[in-house]
Amino acid sequence: MRDTFDILLLPGDGIGPEVVGAAREVIDAAADHFGIEVRYEERRIGGTAIREEGEPISEETLEAASASDSVLLGAVGHPDFDNAPVRPEAGLLGLRKHLGAFANLRPVVAIPALIGSSPLKREVVDGVDVLIVRELTGGAYFGEKEEGEERASDLSVYTREEVDRVARVAFEAAKRRKRRVTSVDKANVMATSRLWRRVVSEVAEDYPEVELDHVLVDAAAMYLVQAPRRFDVVLTENLFGDILSDEAAMLPGSMGMLPSASLGKPGSPGIFEPVHGSAPDIAGEGKANPYATILSAAMMFRHSLGRPDVAEAIEQGVSVALEAHFSTPDLGGKKTTEEVTKAVSKWVAAGEGVM
């Protein structure tokens, strides 16, 4: 197993620097415990990059991302740029495109210690373990755009190759789980969805051990809050995946609990980031929930750096901290970002209690 890693840190906007700083502290604790070396480079993305560098992500930052083993990102976005010609989010889209990160993995797990934080009934949430696989580089987000005072459009385009490659990621993941893939589309009205459904069905023929069903996106949105345990791996396109994974944040109780991994071809750097936004309204107040970014770091060690042992230690540290009631305000608790971070770090470093 490797023991030296180069990680590019892109804290971004709002609470991004706080949660990335928290994840770095936990990574450092893991590095000490496991005897590995982690080398960091930190650069700008999003609104901070626009202010300091004139663009949401520079060529130098893209080159640094390519040269890294992995990228750990905080959040992008700020209301100061809501009406600006260039938005902070363009930096993230540019990074995904540059690294060829076409598959976004978003695990949604109902942690026992947090079931009471969910607005849904315990019997609905208990036992939920869903992996959302979202296509990242096609669809309306990347299509040709037209924007005027009287007319606007976002062209949604998918190719067979784009659907095929992300579908295989979902089916491979399902083989290691409960062997069920639910493909979500809008095939009753959208041509892109009909292509999506055909290609996914063809890919399924290569995975006879995996059960496939197709669900329209409106029905999938209902099932996520009505009967989420019916899902194992959810496969869907860019726009639908963005919306459904945000909805799924209510299952564990907060968007602050959802990590993600954006992956491309084997061997290429992955991008690991929390699903939540930049939350500039609470930046600097110590209220930010760092768990999603810490769990994203765990995903980084599992999916990009080849150290599942480190990933498991970080995940166990999160579970122990939550069981000990280290919860931030979004989870109904009163702990600060720093208190949560130190609780997880202490367990990861020593493998023992957090109190």
What is the maximum alpha-carbon separation in the chain? 61
Whether the model clears a pTM of 0.95, i.e. scores above it, the answer is no
**CA torsion, ordered 338, 340, 345, 347, to nearest 10 deg:** 150
Which pLDDT does position 344 carry in this prediction? Answer: 97
Which pLDDT does position 352 carry in this prediction? Answer: 56
Which pLDDT does position 111 carry in this prediction? Answer: 85
Report the chain's terminal Cα–Cα distance, integer Å: 32
CATH code of the domain made up of 129-250: 3.40.50
Residue ranges, CATH 3.40.50, the chain = 129-250
β 259-263/152-154 pair status: unpaired
Kindly report the average pLDDT of the chain as a whole number: 94
Phi (first) and psi of residue 187, to 5 degrees: -65, -15
β 103-109/129-135 pair status: antiparallel
CB-CB neighbours of 347 under 10 Å: 24
If pLDDT is split at 50, 70 and 90, which confidence band does 249 have?
A: confident
pLDDT exceeds cutoff 60 at 354: no
Residue ranges, CATH 3.40.718.10, the chain = 1-107+254-355
Collapsing DSSP to helix, strand or coil, 260 comes out as: strand
- What is the arithmetic mean of pLDDT over 284-302? 97
Which pLDDT does position 312 carry in this prediction? Answer: 95
If pLDDT is split at 50, 70 and 90, which confidence band does 114 have?
A: confident
Which pLDDT does position 2 carry in this prediction? Answer: 85
- Cβ atoms of 102 and 134 within 8 Å: the answer is no
Kindly report which listed range (60-69, 248-257, 289-298) carries the lowest average pLDDT score: 248-257
Which pLDDT does position 355 carry in this prediction? Answer: 44
Gap between the Cα atoms of 352 and 355, Å rounded? 9
- What is the arithmetic mean of pLDDT over 173-189? 97
Which pLDDT does position 252 carry in this prediction? Answer: 84
Gap between the Cα atoms of 299 and 294, Å rounded? 9
Nearest to 71 by CA among 36, 41, 26, 32: 41
pLDDT exceeds cutoff 90 at 255: no
Residue numbers annotated as active site: 141, 186, 218, 242, 246
- What is the arithmetic mean of pLDDT over 128-152? 94
pLDDT exceeds cutoff 80 at 66: yes
Task: Return the CATH superfamily for domain 1-107+254-355.
Answer: Isopropylmalate Dehydrogenase (3.40.718.10)
- What is the arithmetic mean of pLDDT over 137-147? 92
Which pLDDT does position 146 carry in this prediction? Answer: 94
